[in-house]
Structure 1
Amino acid sequence: MARVLYVTIPAEGHVNPTLGLVKQLVDNGEEVVYMNVEPFRNRLAQTGAEFRAYTINEQLFVELGLSPTEYTHPHHLTEFILRGMIEPIIPEVLRLIENDSFDYVIVDSLFGWGGAILGEKLGIPLICSATNFVFDKPVSHVIKMKEAEDNLDVEALYERLTNSAERVASACNVAVPALDDITRQYGQLKVVFTSRYFQPESEKYDDSYIFSGPSISPRPDAPSFSFDQLRSKYNKVIYISMGSILNKDIEFYKLCFEAFNDIPAQFVLASGRETDITSLEESIPSNFIIQPYVPQLEILQRADVFVTHAGMNSASEALYYHVPLVAIPLSSDQPIVANQTEQLGAGITLDKDCLTPETLKLAVLKVLNNPIYKQRAKMVGDSFRSAGGYQEAADRIMSLFSKV
């Protein structure tokens, strides 16, 4: 069987969808080396893959910005991908595997040109791991931007990008690409963790795109939770989570308390491991359960509505279990995911900049009480389940790239 290198970016939403595929490849006899940051070691080791850690510069991430929808120029996202991920990570990955050989490499789509570098330097087939929607243009030209500031120094931005690209090209001994090509999605095959039904404009994409549906698999590291309490007082459950990165907005949690304190439903709020909510303890309504981290898959199987930032991973998990969304997109491709969910009738999208307790309460009640949202969520979820899953993705990959 084949030896496989799998490299993803350090984010829950880019790691979790790959777990089922990695385990399936291992179970099918492939030898997988998975590379990410140290905190994901235990989770990845449980798939049977060999885990290797690369390092990241968290201060550089902060400097470059974690919220692409706050960017005012397409190449601000290019800079985040190039200077924040490709330049520090890809040369290090190459150093860590310099004495190894592999038969094919699977690389997170958000690495863009970095994936192409790994495929070229290793001289093996490249597969794109797309945990978000795929696009027929560079990602930097898809994300909605804020209006440009008058003092934006575009010349300095281009100079930083050019210098960074030249450093990477020199370190890896490859050609310097056009700036627009840095954020393209490369690969002979592209494993897309959604269905053609949920993918916008899916007719544009040929059979080299494997729409496998979201990879929903058990998470052994999920925290404990007393599920009996979910319906001990109320018949309905509303789950609130704003993801693992942008979940520290205390003012949003205050707004939720005001909006939902008199709704006869059980609210479960995942506040984030690093969020300090001690200042809110006296204002928490009696119909709220708050924990830093909850077993999301198990909660969603019991939820009636999901209030979410509409990250691709979270939205897909909810819709897989037929849970409609009240989406409040914050960053990156979240507005695109929220819009597609609303277009398909499986939820409502709210503008984070115009959010009030009244608008939030009305949206939740509308989704909770109108069965059409549940029906449309079921249609999306059913399309996920019929897409073939990580088993079919593994079979397709192995039929093309594995050794017999």
Structure 2
Amino acid sequence: MFIMERKKAFIIPFPQHGHINPMLSMTKELINKHHFDVIFYGLDDRREAIENTGATYRKFKHFNLTNFPKMPDLVDVFTYQLKVSNQELPTLLEDYIRDQPDVIIYDFMSLHGKFLLKFIRKKKCLKQPLGVNFNPTFALKPGIFPTDEEWSEAMNKNFWDIIRLVWLFILQAILSIKFRLNIWNTMKFFTETDELNLVGISPEFQPKREYFGNELKFVGHSASDQIQKAKIISDKKLEKILDSIDVINPSFDLDQRTEKVLIFASLGTVFNDFKQIFDKILDAFKLFESEDPSLKSFLIMSVGHTVFEEYKDYQCPDNMIILPYVPQINVLEKASLFITHGGMGSTNEAIYFAVPLIFIPMSADQPFVAKRLCDDFNLGIRFKPFDFTSPQLKDGMVKIINDHTYRQRTFDFSKILNKYNGGKMAADEIAKFIDERDKKQK
């Protein structure tokens, strides 16, 4: 009887939801279709989701995102990761020597994953695993996308930022000397490619795709509705609101004016501790209701646990609910409008269900996502997070709900992006690459 040899994989992400979630479908495919044993690193807030794929969950020992800045820029992210990598790398190396994985899949933001591979490759006596760089957002090419001007805008340099960059350089030097690694420019190291490079968006979504070569494989967004859709909704009021609205996305009748409008607002799981923004959304929704009283409108706000504590005594009417968390897929399939921070995961899910968007981008890649979808594809409207008023937001709501061309364009774009199954394609590419490498080595 032939027994298929099982390959072993390490998955080493940057342990935030937006970086772990896009890898879950790929993990499930690697385990179920390609017979991999997967060890997936993370933190306890995503343990259940990781284990549901069939992977073995392994907790990072030194990450503590409770101390992560509310509005981090790239310097914050790199500085934090260099500090953590200094502590985490010896543990990861011990795990590698013990488990001997065939492939290490790391998030492009996971400097500790990159450092581990770089260290292993210096030691020729160690088994050399396949390195897979997984990017859940736009691919980057310095000077092309983002442009030098866009990088400078994202960095927003001032005197204190120069001091922070000097400190970043010192941390790079310490880590390079300690582990004998040549890491003197984290910004450059951040955009380096590996043996296999997967981008978790469709090629049509990528800005300036023509400037990126074949070294990148655009696999598309993961079919996350299959993983994250809740079978049971625990909040009875939320369940009642959703039960009162038909599923309209993505196969709705574009010419039919719905009598019920569901507006969904969420700023994600990282940059969501800003009650003043949610207050503006609440005020804008009240103005929106008064604009057309004949239209039955609903508002669902997912505000995170910190802000929810400030709203716990707020008396919501029957058509409004504020919760720390909602099952996003269940809401999006019935939503007429999504007010979002513009995280790549949430944005792709909105497009998957053909929901028009209002962006309030907070940080990271969110301004680039908002600019791409609003300026290039005209799928929504974007506001700067602290520079808009409730009446301006209300006008945006009215414009998108009443102008059905937004729905049409979003629907058309969803058909393009939904051709791809990112999880399946990513797993297939990894398995194919390993098989081809094994054949060459025989």
TM-score, normalisation: structure 1: 0.88
CA distance, structure 1, for counterparts of residue 336 and residue 133 of structure 2 = 34
Residues 9 and 37, structure 2, Cα contact 8 Å, conserved in 1: yes
* CA-to-aligned-CA distance 1:60-113 (integer Å, 9 cap, x gap): 843xx3424xx5xx6455434433x53343343223333120111110001247
Kept in 2: contact 1:198–1:380 (CA 8 A): no
SS of match in other structure, 2:306: coil
Deviation of 1:195 after TM superposition, in Å, equals: 0.6
Deviations 1:270-302 (A, max 9, x none): 111333344574464543122211110111111
C-alpha RMSD of matched pairs (Å): 2.7
Letter of the 2:345 counterpart: N
- Partner-residue secondary structure (3-state), 2:14: coil
Match runs of 1:323-342 below 5 Å: 323-342=355-374
Aligned pair partner of 2:432 in 392, 399, 404? 399
Whether 1:32 aligns to 2:43 is no
Q: Residue 51 of structure 1 corresponds to which residue in structure 2?
A: 57
Q: Match of 1:352, SS?
A: coil
2:342 to 310, 314, 337: 310
Task: Sort the Cα spacing of 1:147 and 1:30 in 2 relative to 1 into closer, same or farther, 3 A.
Answer: closer
Task: Give the residue type in structure 2 aligned to 1:165.
Answer: Q
**Cα offset, 1:344, TM superposition:** 0.7
Kindly report which structure 2 residues correspond to 1:59-208, keeping only aligned pairs within 5 A, or say none.
61-62=67-68, 65-68=69-72, 71=73, 75-83=75-83, 85-112=84-111, 114-121=113-120, 123-137=128-142, 143=151, 144-145=153-154, 147-149=156-158, 151-152=159-160, 154=162, 156-208=163-215
Q: CA deviation at 1:231?
A: 6.5
8 Å Cα contact 2:285/2:394 also seen in 1:
yes
Pairwise CA distance, 1:236: 1.2
Q: Structure 1 CA distance, aligned partners of 2:399 and 2:89?
A: 47
CA distance in 1, matches of 2:277, 2:207: 30
Instruction: Give the structure with higher Rg (CA).
Output: 2
Q: 2-side partners of 1:344 and 1:89: how far apart?
A: 41
Indicate the larger mover: 213-222 or 313-322: 213-222
Shift, 1:119, TM fit? 5.0
2:409 to 376, 384, 404: 376
How many Å separate the matches in 2 of 1:121 and 1:270? Answer: 42
Deviations 1:104-133 (A, max 9, x none): 111000124741542551632211111111
Distance 1:81-1:364 versus aligned 2 partners, 3 A rule: farther
CA distance in 2, matches of 1:285, 1:146: 42
- The answer to whether 1:254 aligns with 2:279 is yes
Q: Is the 8 A contact 1:2 1:30 kept in 2?
A: yes
Name the CA shift for 1:393/1:146 in 2 (closer, same or farther; >3 Å). closer
1:3 to 8, 14, 26: 8
Deviation track 1:20-57 (CA, whole Å, cap 9, x = no partner) reads 00000001211111111232222111111111111345
1:151-207 Cα deviation digits (max 9, x unpaired): 4273x4344223322332344332233343232243222211111111111112223
User: Structure 2: which amino acid aligns with 1:359?
Assistant: Q
How many residues get paired?
395
Counterpart-to-counterpart distance in 2, 1:259 and 1:180: 40
Could you say which residue in structure 2 is the equivalent of 1:42?
48
User: How far did 1:6 drift?
Assistant: 0.8
1:356-377 Cα shifts (integer Å, max 9, x gaps): 1111111111111111111221
In structure 1, how many angstroms separate the alpha carbons of the residues matched to 2:140 and 2:336?
31
Inter-CA distance 81–385: structure 2 relative to 1 (3 Å threshold): same
CA–CA distance in structure 2, aligned partners of residues 336 and 61 of structure 1: 25
1:230-270 residue CA offsets vs partner (Å, 9 max, x unmatched): 36386111110000012121122221221112524111111
Cα gap change, 1:159 to 1:340, in 2 (>3 Å): closer
Q: Distance in 2 between matches of 1:9 and 1:275?
A: 24
Which of 235, 254, 265 does residue 240 from structure 1 map onto? Answer: 265
1:229 aligns with 2:241: yes
Cα distance, 1:147–1:36 mapped onto 2, change above 3 Å: closer
Distance in 1 (alpha carbons) for counterparts of 2:25 and 2:19: 12
**Separation (CA, whole Å) in 2 of partners of 1:12 and 1:326:** 21
Question: Structure 1's 75 and 253: CA in aligned 2 closer, same or farther, altered over 3 A?
Answer: closer
CA contact (8 A) 2:24 2:423 kept: no
Listed as ranges, the gaps of 5+ residues in structure 2 are 1-5, 122-127, 246-258, 290-295
Aligned AA (2:410): A
Q: Alignment partner of 2:97: what SS?
A: coil
The SS at the match of 2:280 is helix
- Per the normalisation by structure 2, the TM-score is 0.81
Check whether the contact 2:25–2:223 (CA below 8 A) recurs between aligned residues: yes
Instruction: Specify the code of the residue in structure 1 equivalent to 2:242.
Output: L
Q: Which amino acid aligns with 2:173?
A: E
**What letter corresponds to residue 79 of structure 2 in structure 1?**
E
